[in-house]
Amino acid sequence: MALKFYNTLSRKLETYQSIRPGVTDLYTCGPTVYNYAHIGNFRAYMFEDILRRTLAYCGYTVRQVMNLTDVDDKTIRDSRAADMDLATYTRTFTKAFFEDLDTLNIEKAEHYPAATDHVPEMIAMIDTLLDKGYAYVGDDKSVYFSIERYPDYGKLARIDLSQQRSGVRIKADEYGKESVADFALWKHWDDDDGDVYWDSPWGRGRPGWHIECSAMSVKYLGNHFDIHTGGVDNLFPHHEDEIAQCEAATGEKFVNYWLHCAHLLVNNEKMSKSAGNFYTLRDLIKKGFDGREIRWLLMSAHYRQHLNFTLEGLSAARSVLRRIDDFVVRLKELSAEGDAGLDLATDVVEVSRLAFRKGLEDDLNMSAAIAAYFDFMHRVNKAVDEAGLGGNAIDLLLNFCREVDRVFGVIHLGSAEPSVPAAIQALADERLAARRLRDFDRADSLRDDIHAAGWRIDDTPKGTRLVRVSRS
């Protein structure tokens, strides 16, 4: 079996081979910390989390870098509008970003370099580009990358250079360039920048967005590394420009595999701040959903396919997770000892592991990996109904759940249920007391109260169990 990824650079599914055996160096474009990230952004970070976890599951040690863009047009614009200094302003959203990663159970990268901490590295790279003749100082004292002097430009996006670049983050009044297609490496200070500037050999100014990622990826991962990712909107011009800057500066191939995730859509339009059709994670939590449900929704579609976001989709995620939880609880409640069903369990795990891994290896085909896990649950449920399972078989099966969860990150294996609030537990105790007194009307009314508060009572052979249910 071999891990395969669709490489945007070649437009082909390729067998993955790391530069160093057993190690993968991964750069993932991170958030611009000018506001709360929306769940479209989190689709990209979730895809990267599944990629990271899959690489680890397949035996790689992953070294991941995710940048924090804490200086650009938007951070400067909004911090000034809020009448705050840039660092104080972005700190709030950086903190919120890390809280959101925790809510979604996204594994931490090894490095989160902030752009403002790496301006000297950016200046050094720009200096090299000037020395090598790939860059020039424009009439407006900004420094630009000259696309004409770099013939490889366009190899990732496969764009026709005779056409003007669209969607580029340049200001309309940037007339200091030789060609409209050139992009800024260093932006000379102007009034809009206020007190945000660094001194450089070309005067006061600030780095362009693209050079941030080039300088930080090379600093932490070297000139040539394995995988670079982002949402498909990053492909051009951001990633194209990163390649141009790095390869022109270092003379080496920059990245072997480029992976891009498709957009999260709302009513078939890209979810974005500018379109105003976005939900932040916090909006959805306020609506009563939890991080696990949002994680499930975002990870369950293939990363290269559009995912249309709906609240109904989140409710469906809740039902699926309930089935997943019920399965673990059921396994844990089986109390027989010994080796009953051990051979059967061994076979089921082997078949399921193969299907699970095959799905992941096929360009992170989560539908196939999820189907493998559902098939596993189905087979185990059947075995429990028909033959019964002993403790050793159950341990084996629970270990496989744990193994799957190294990638899924949603299965509750410790305590299979979220902890029950004291008020709900008190109602349940009262209901039990009413039943003992054969006051069934009272017991039923308490059950209704518990249900209205979002909990269900299951009467099992081992006693009653409280399970969280949909509040909608």
Task: Name the binder of 272 from ligand AMP, Zn ion, none, CB < 5-8 A by kind.
Answer: ligand AMP
Q: Could you tell me the smallest distance in angstroms from the CB atom of residue 241 to Zn ion?
A: 9
Closest CB 52 distance from ligand AMP, rounded Å: 14
Q: Give the nearest distance from C-beta 69 to ligand AMP in angstroms.
A: 6
Considering only the stretches 37-45, 205-213, 245-253, 376-384, report the one whose residues sit in contact with Zn ion under the rule CB under 5 A. 205-213
Q: Interface with Zn ion includes 29 (CB under 5 A)?
A: yes
**Binding-site size, ligand AMP (CB under 6 A):** 17
DSSP letter assigned to residue 386: H
The two counts, helices (H) then strands (E), for the chain are: 14, 15
Q: Residue 243 touches which of ligand AMP, Zn ion, none (CB < 5 to 8 A by kind)? A: none
Neighbours of 318 (CB within 10 A): 20
What is the distance between the alpha carbons of residues 51 and 60, in angstroms, rounded to a whole number?
A: 11
Q: What is the largest CA-CA distance in the chain?
A: 90
Contact status: 116 vs ligand AMP (CB under 6 A)? no
Q: Residue 213's binding partner, choosing from Zn ion, ligand AMP, none, with beta-carbon cut-off 5 to 8 A by kind?
A: Zn ion
CB of 111 vs Zn ion, minimal distance in Å: 14
Q: How far is the CB of 74 from ligand AMP (least distance, A)?
A: 9
Does the footprint of ligand AMP cover residue 233 (CB under 6 A)?
yes
From Zn ion, ligand AMP, none, which one binds at residue 41 (CB under 5 to 8 Å depending on kind)? Answer: ligand AMP
Which value, to the nearest 10 degrees, does the dihedral of the CA atoms of residues 176, 181, 187, 192 take? 80
Residue whose token pair is 């902890």: 419
Site string for ligand AMP, 257-276 (x = CB under 6 A): ----x-xx-----xxx----
CB of 238 to Zn ion, least distance (A): 6
- Selection from ligand AMP, Zn ion, none that 231 binds (CB < 5 to 8 A by kind) is ligand AMP
Q: Within positions 253 to 272, which residues make up the interface with Zn ion, using CB under 5 A? A: none
Contact call for residue 113 and ligand AMP (CB under 6 A): no
Q: From CA 123, how far away is CA 129, in angstroms rounded? A: 10
CB of 90 to Zn ion, least distance (A): 16
Residue 383 CB, nearest approach to Zn ion (Å): 49
Report how far residue 460's alpha carbon sits from residue 330's, in angstroms, rounded to the nearest whole number.
10
213 lies in the binding site for Zn ion (CB under 5 A): yes
For 293, what's the count of Cα atoms within 13 Å in the CB-facing half-sphere?
A: 24
Q: Is 403 in the site for ligand AMP (CB under 6 A)?
A: no
Contact 368, 359 (CB under 8 A): yes
Q: How far is the CB of 262 from ligand AMP (least distance, A)?
A: 7
Residue that the structure tokens 């100014």 belong to: 205
Nearer to Zn ion, 115 or 401 (CB): 115
Rounded to 10°, the helix 391-408/39-57 angle is 130
Q: Which of 399, 284, 421, 299 is nearest to 345 (CA)?
A: 399
Q: How many residues does the chain have?
A: 472
DSSP per-residue letters across 172-217: TT---SSSTT-EEEEEEP-GGGTT--B--TT-SEEE-HHHHHHHHH
Tokens of 259: 């992976």
Alpha-carbon distance 349 to 196, whole Å? 58
Total residues in contact with Zn ion, by rule CB under 5 A: 2
Name which of 122 and 394 has its Cβ closer to ligand AMP: 122
Q: Is 231 in the site for ligand AMP (CB under 6 A)?
A: yes
Interface with ligand AMP in residues 39-58 (CB under 6 A):
40-41, 43-44
Cis peptide before 418 (omega within 30 of 0): no
- Strand pairing class (264-266; 269-270): antiparallel
Partner interacting with residue 43 (select from ligand AMP, Zn ion, none; CB below 5-8 Å by kind)? ligand AMP
Interface residues with ligand AMP (CB under 6 A)?
29, 31-32, 40-41, 43-44, 230-231, 233-234, 261, 263-264, 270-272
